[in-house]
Every structure is written in C-alpha cells, then in structure tokens.
Amino acid sequence: MSPPSVWVQGQPLDHRRDQYGVGALWINLGWYHFDQLVFRLREGAQSLEIVRPTRTQPLHALHITVCDATALPPI
C-alpha cells in the first residue's frame, strides 16, 4: 500500500504531501475526529481506526474504505 499522503491524528506525516482526499490514509487513535469520517470517505480517503490504543497490548484496528460513496449517509 502506497497512499499519496498519510495523516495521523489529523496531522500530515509529510507536509509536502498533505493531500487529504483521494487515496489518502487517515490513521486515528481511539476514534479521534470520528465526526469527520463520512466526509473523508466521500472524498475518497481511507481510514485506519485504532479502536482502543494501548502501549502494552496488541492493537485492534478497522481499515475502512468505500466502494460506492453514493451509499454513504448525507452529511
């Protein structure tokens, strides 16, 4: 997987590649900015949600992508 840009907790990892739409990968810990999830998915981004981040336990994550953006609820 080679996304055009990667965002962690709402901040781009590389400020020269700060595209937030098509193909971008958003990584969020504990549903950070969950209210923006539908907007990002409509723009063609992907989301990796780390459900309950811990320092000592394995991480559980959801990789969310959309095949049909028209099926998303209205904003």
For the stretch 8-38, pLDDT in tens is 888 888 877 777 788 899 999 988 888 888 8
Collapse the DSSP code of 42 into the 3-class scheme (helix H, G, I; strand E, B; otherwise coil) and give the result: helix
Task: Look at the pTM and tell me if it is higher than 0.95.
Answer: no
Whether residue 1 lies inside any domain: the answer is no
The number of distinct structural domains making up the chain is: 1
| Tokens 């907790």 -> residue | 9
- Cα 19 to Cα 68: distance, rounded to the nearest angstrom: 21
pLDDT of residue 30: 86
| Domain hosting residue 23, numbered range | 6-68
pLDDT of residue 23: 84
Residue 61: what are its φ and ψ, rounded to 5°? -135, 155
Alpha helices by DSSP H, listed for 1-75, are 37-42
pLDDT of residue 28: 92
Whether residue 45 lies inside any domain: the answer is yes
